[in-house]
Structure 1
Amino acid sequence: MDAIADTEDRRDKAVRPSREEAEAAVKTLIAWAGDDPAREGLLETPARVARAYAELFSGYDGDPQLVLDRVFEDVAGYADPVLVKDIAFHSHCEHHMLPFYGKAHVAYFPEGGVVGLSKIARLVDIYARRLQTQETMTAQIADAMESALGTGGVAIMIEAEHLCMSMRGIAKAGAQTITSRFTGAFKDNATEQARFWTMVRGR
């Protein structure tokens, strides 16, 4: 079993606490930070945080295969790369549970049809709205595209700023982390890789 499949298996087996237990944990963190969870301004904070987490981590409930389950075959023989770029996302670092955010650029060679463009953005969101590392997220998007579409090749590039690096620790605001993954024709052909980078950078 590869590392990504093992991670998915562990996530599937995770047992979720109740909403009440989650709110109690927030109260504990507030007290540990040095404040009083019973003061007026913080009384509703545990419930708000629980609701926010349900939204921020909704990717655990998403199924990448269902998102990509419909392919449009009537594309008049189009067989060149399809690129959806500048897909904005917000995620959370699994090491510090602080946000990282940026843009994803996803390209693929269609084989037998194309997928709806909004579906690619939904796929990015499914993986972004989980506790993540940028490296794992990049690989997961590529693997899901390959698995669901049987493409002739996928190219992924993600650029993001990590608040765990910009607001704590080394505190280098504005530093960008870039990850990429190539499969199929993109991996085997330097010309196609160059075309991808040119399309992403708009030159």
Structure 2
Amino acid sequence: MCEELAKHYHAILEGLGEDPQREGLLDTPMRAAKAMQYLCNGYEKNLDEVVNNALFESSSEEMVIVRDIELYSLCEHHLLPFIGKAHVAYIPTGKVIGLSKVARIVDMYARRLQIQENLTRQIADAVMSVTQASGVGVVIEAKHMCMMMRGVEKQNSVMTSSAMLGSFRSSVNTRQEFLQLIRGH
């Protein structure tokens, strides 16, 4: 697959008026193909593999938050990066998920061609599905290169999206506690 992608990058370079045989570009098609495969490796993963049975019995019924999870994704409209952080919270009902698995869930979905709104919901749905929590909240804050490097060229804009499931949707107090805890840092 990498060789096929490299052929396309070679054609893109030619389409831009570049000489793919120029010294600095000789290996660029293959490097770009490998980079794109890495940036989109979320397609090669599934939720069961990512979580890998890392669920543990717990009597805790208090909110668990993993804050400031870096994320790197590609806008499906322009194939340009968006970069930011995710804040993920859930309220356990007998089981907690391994801490690193929350970040791995974020990465699995972020490493696909995306729009931020869908990414936010996919993470929330996945955490809810795995943990069977009474509620899940996800907030993502990201800068989009498609808005910074082209088009309106707004350098300081940040998009914030949220998905609130279960008690995070039905209880104003739960939602407020989550939002205060992620903003209070």
Match of 2:102 in 1: 120
Report % sequence identity: 46
Match of 1:140 in 2: 122
Of 121, 146, 149, the residue aligned with 2:131 is: 149
Match of 2:181 in 1: 199
1:27-42 equivalences in 2 (<5 Å): 27-42=10-25
Deviates more, 1:91-100 or 1:143-152: 143-152
In the TM superposition, what is the alpha-carbon distance from 1:67 to its structure 2 partner? 2.2
Match of 2:32 in 1: 49
Q: How many correspondences in the alignment?
A: 184
Q: If each structure's strand is expressed as a fraction of its own residues, which one has the higher value?
A: 2
Alpha-carbon separation, structure 2, partners of 1:65 and 1:154: 19
Asked whether 1:164 is paired with 2:146, we answer yes
Would you say the 8 A contact 1:65–1:144 is kept in 2? no
Q: TM-score, normalised by structure 1?
A: 0.88
Would you say the 8 A contact 2:142–2:158 is kept in 1? yes
In the TM superposition, what is the alpha-carbon distance from 1:70 to its structure 2 partner? 2.3
* Runs of 4 or more consecutive aligned structure 1 residues displaced over 6 Å after TM superposition: none
Asked whether 1:70 is paired with 2:59, we answer no
In the TM superposition, what is the alpha-carbon distance from 1:54 to its structure 2 partner? 1.8
Alpha-carbon separation, structure 2, partners of 1:51 and 1:66: 23
Match of 1:87 in 2: 69
Please provide the CA RMSD for this pair: 1.0
Runs of 5+ consecutive residues of structure 2 not aligned to the other structure: none
1:16-31 equivalences in 2 (<5 Å): 18-31=1-14
SS in 1 for 2:160: strand
SS in 2 for 1:104: strand
Alpha-carbon separation, structure 2, partners of 1:184 and 1:19: 42
